[in-house]
Amino acid sequence: MATQVALLAELQRVDQNIKSNSEAVEARRSALQQLDTQISAQRQQVATAEAEWAALEKRQRELDAQLTDAESKTKDRRMRIARIRNDKELGLVRREIDALKEVMNAAETELLTLMEQGDQRRTAVEAARQALAALETARAAEAAELDATMARVASVIEEDRSRRDTLLATVDVDLHRRYELIFSRRGGVAVVGVRSGTCQGCHMHVPPQLFNQIKRNEQIFLCPSCQRILFWEPQDDESKA
């Protein structure tokens, strides 16, 4: 029958497997979450860039309409001038034509600026859309990785959990509690082998008398330096001896 220490060592193998497999799944999940966060931020950027571009195009259409309107009014006033015989009225219409020219000049100047900005805006929208597409591709790949990881480890985790339950039925309750405490505080290593008189957890030398007691694997002994549970793990030459 297996000793308590041997059972604990086996339990630890199972627990370490569960831990590393669960962590692998968790790492994939958190990578996916990070991508989701980046994607929603990028969507916001695309929307902002698109809105800025749309506002610019709207202003361009307004200015185009102003120009068309001013041009047709100018044409109309010039035709009227030919028929005017009155100096006062003539002066009035000429001033009107000058005012229309100013409107057209201002509209043309602004349109030129907007055309330059329009190229920048369009580039910004395209860049934002490309960045979003890249993130979405990365997300799809990450989601596939998560699925693959799940497919690979889900049944293994399930088997390990049931193996763990079986082992726990045979391990002393107090000893298990101690083991859990050390396992969580010592980075997932609670039970360590002693090889050539050295603790494999902290690589400190175990006193010879303690080493001899450990070799029997009957009682529970803790490493004097790292406080982990020790068991004897014979090397080839030691086991032959």
For Zn ion, the binding residues (CB under 5 A) are 199, 201-202, 223, 225-226
Q: Which is closer to Zn ion, CB of 21 or CB of 198?
A: 198
Q: How far is the CB of 199 from Zn ion (least distance, A)?
A: 3
Q: To the nearest whole angstrom, how small is the minimum distance from the Cβ of residue 239 to Zn ion? A: 21
Decide whether 49 or 223 has the Cβ nearer to Zn ion.
223
- Are the beta carbons of 5 and 170 closer than 8 angstroms? no
Of 12 and 74, nearer to Zn ion (C-beta) is: 12
DSSP assignment of 31-58:
HHHHHHHHHHHHHHHHHHHHHHHHHHHH
Judged by CB, which is closer to Zn ion: 30, or 225? 225
DSSP string, 150-185: HHHHHHHHHHHHHHHHHHHTTS-HHHHHHHHHHHHH
Residues 15, 183 contacting (CB under 8 angstroms): yes
Report the run of H or E that residue 59 belongs to, with start and end.
helix 4-83
Q: Least distance from C-beta 197 to Zn ion, angstroms?
A: 12
Closest CB to Zn ion among residues 8, 201: 201
In the complex, minimum distance from the CB of residue 174 to Zn ion, in angstroms, rounded to a whole number: 21
Contacts 24+ apart (CB under 8 A), 17-21: 17/156, 17/160, 18/157, 18/160, 18/161, 18/164, 19/188, 21/153, 21/156, 21/157, 21/160
Q: Is 111 left (phi over 0), alpha (psi -120 to 50) or beta?
A: alpha
Q: For residues 152 and 205, which CB has a smaller minimum distance to Zn ion in the complex?
A: 205
CB of 236 to Zn ion, least distance (A): 22
Amino acid residing at 113: T
CB of 213 to Zn ion, least distance (A): 15
Interatomic CA distance for residues 197 and 227, integer angstroms:
16
Question: How far apart are CB 202 and Zn ion at their closest, in Å?
Answer: 3
Q: Which is nearer to Zn ion, 63 or 223 (CB)?
A: 223
